[in-house]
Structure 1
Amino acid sequence: MARNELGEFLKARRAAVAPDPRLLGDLRPRRVPGLRREEVAQLAGLSADYYTRLEQGRHRSPSEAVLNGLAEALELDTSARQHLFALARAAAGGTGPKPTDRVQRVRPSLHQLLESLTDLPAFVRGRRTDVLAMNPLARFVLHDFTAEPVRRRNLVRWALLDPEARTRYRDWEQVVSAMVGTLRMDAGRHPDDPLLKELVGELAVQSEEFRQWWAEQRVVERTAGTKRFNHPMVGELDVDFEALDVAGESDQTLFIYTTRPGSESERRMRVLAGWVNEQQESPAAGQGLPAEVSDPRE
């Protein structure tokens, strides 16, 4: 990760803002996209020299008022604004919450909750997009992370480096670029996390897409949305997801997938859930697939 994270973020975000000539009073042709440094300073109510020093890492203690002005000038959403403040704290020598364990743990009652959701895929994601726990249906719909070594149970790593993920997600590029944005936000919260730095280094070496998306400095915090899968047994699955923070636990999020009532995806999810539940009750029953699964798209 770059030493001047705050400056790199400001530079990337101003390049992503479409300038309004009427607001800036400047109709000159532009050789590069986005806002110029002096324009960011103007919109944020700062001097051009002050903003330049901030972006270059020569000033590392911006006030809250300055950060709010920059957030407005750069049109940051809530997640990006939080990320800006986290980077500013780190630049000033402050630290965010430090990981207490190298491997996060999921409390037993949450494991029980996951196991009770027999008809809905559900899993717990931790920091660095690590997958901490999954119920059987989630392992079958997404990927069986529990079969991987603990240090390799990572969602963004799987999505970028495992060919299975490129076929599993019908909108692979959209989904995985957002995962990188989530990892970027985590890096702002935990700038001194050695395992996160190790993961970023590995992905930067092995994935050209990761290098591109990481350089964009985009941050994403998922709370709800839709995922479109292509499952090898039942074909296309459209699921809605809810991402719920786990009360009392730092950096743990419970994801639950649902399908819309009456949809073909709901029917196909029932088929998968029935087969998985039967396999759980009697492992021998899972050796053959039910007839309905053999050709679900008829």
Structure 2
Amino acid sequence: MRARRCIDVRQPLSQLLEAPSDRGQATQLPLDRHDLAARTLYVEWPQVVAATAAQLRHVAARHPDDRELAALIKELTAGSTDFRTHWVTGEVALRTSGTKSLRHPEAGVLTFTDENFEAPGDARQRLVAFTPGKDSPTEAALRLLRGGQ
């Protein structure tokens, strides 16, 4: 089940987006961490939870016999009041792009556009690309975090 939640290919710059104590950890669904750190990281926390629940409902509809997915949903509904609240609405959505803002402990709020790409032939694997706006405050902050390069 953990393989569904983790990205195992990391770019060095992506590690700079994390708190120093989290660097080197696998990236997981935001709801894997039912704690203040996850709520603090995502500026739009309620929207992140709602989108995650709606997307998981979409995946569950496509794969109704997937026991690992059912176990993940059960775990999230049991462990997260926020997720449970959005799950019971029954909303279904496939998110392909959007904007996310993250609170970085040193750089402040960083805003990215995100694009979601499904792997050809395996809709269960996705690549999510975060891109700062050209000449944006986020791009400048990332340059500073990277050491001015």
Question: TM-score, normalised on structure 1?
Answer: 0.44
Q: Deviations over 1:119-138 (max 9, x none)?
A: xxxxxxx5xxx223232322
SS in 1 for 2:16: helix
Q: Hey, what's the Cα distance between the residues in 2 that align with 1:253 and 1:145?
A: 22
**Residue 180 (str. 1) matches residue 58 (str. 2):** no
Q: Deviations over 1:263-290 (max 9, x none)?
A: 1111001222348x9xxxxxxxxxxxxx
Q: Hey, what's the Cα distance between the residues in 1 that align with 2:7 and 2:124?
A: 11
Q: Hey, what's the Cα distance between the residues in 1 that align with 2:48 and 2:18?
A: 13
Q: Hey, what's the Cα distance between the residues in 1 that align with 2:38 and 2:30?
A: 10
Q: Hey, what's the Cα distance between the residues in 2 that align with 1:171 and 1:189?
A: 27
What residue number does 1:155 align with? 29
Q: Structure 2: which amino acid aligns with 1:236? A: V
Q: How does 1:4-83 map to 2 (within 5 A)?
A: none
Q: Hey, what's the Cα distance between the residues in 2 that align with 1:180 and 1:155?
A: 11
Q: Hey, what's the Cα distance between the residues in 2 that align with 1:272 and 1:244?
A: 27
What residue number does 2:17 align with? 141
What residue number does 2:117 align with? 244
What residue number does 1:42 align with? none
Q: How does 1:190-201 map to 2 (within 5 A)?
A: 190-201=63-74
What residue number does 2:77 align with? 204
What residue number does 1:132 align with? 7
Instruction: Give the Å deviation of 1:145.
Output: 8.6
Instruction: Give the Å deviation of 1:222.
Output: 1.6
Poorly superposed stretches of 4+, deviation over 6 Å: none
The structure with higher relative contact order (CA 8 Å, sep 6+) is 2
Over the matched positions of the two proteins, sequence identity in percent amounts to 34
Q: Hey, what's the Cα distance between the residues in 2 that align with 1:248 and 1:227?
A: 27
What residue number does 1:273 align with? 146
Q: Is the 8 A contact 2:16 2:146 kept in 1?
A: no
Q: Hey, what's the Cα distance between the residues in 2 that align with 1:251 and 1:273?
A: 32
Q: Is the 8 A contact 1:223 1:244 kept in 2?
A: yes
Instruction: Give the Å deviation of 1:170.
Output: 0.9
Q: Hey, what's the Cα distance between the residues in 1 that align with 2:23 and 2:50?
A: 20
Question: TM-score, normalised on structure 2?
Answer: 0.82
More moved, 165-174 vs 240-249: 240-249
Q: Structure 1: which amino acid aligns with 2:144? A: V
* Larger strand percent: 2
Q: Hey, what's the Cα distance between the residues in 1 that align with 2:99 and 2:113?
A: 4
Instruction: Give the Å deviation of 1:172.
Output: 0.6
Instruction: Give the Å deviation of 1:176.
Output: 1.6
Q: Hey, what's the Cα distance between the residues in 2 that align with 1:248 and 1:274?
A: 39
Instruction: Give the Å deviation of 1:245.
Output: 2.0
Q: Could you say if the C-alpha distance between residues 191 and 146 of structure 1 is closer, same or farther in structure 2, counting changes exceeding 3 Å? A: farther
Q: Is the 8 A contact 1:156 1:180 kept in 2?
A: no
**Residue 259 (str. 1) matches residue 132 (str. 2):** yes
SS in 2 for 1:195: helix
* Larger helix percent: 1
Instruction: Give the Å deviation of 1:202.
Output: 1.7
Q: Deviations over 1:33-69 (max 9, x none)?
A: xxxxxxxxxxxxxxxxxxxxxxxxxxxxxxxxxxxxx
**Gapped runs of 5+ residues in structure 2?**
none
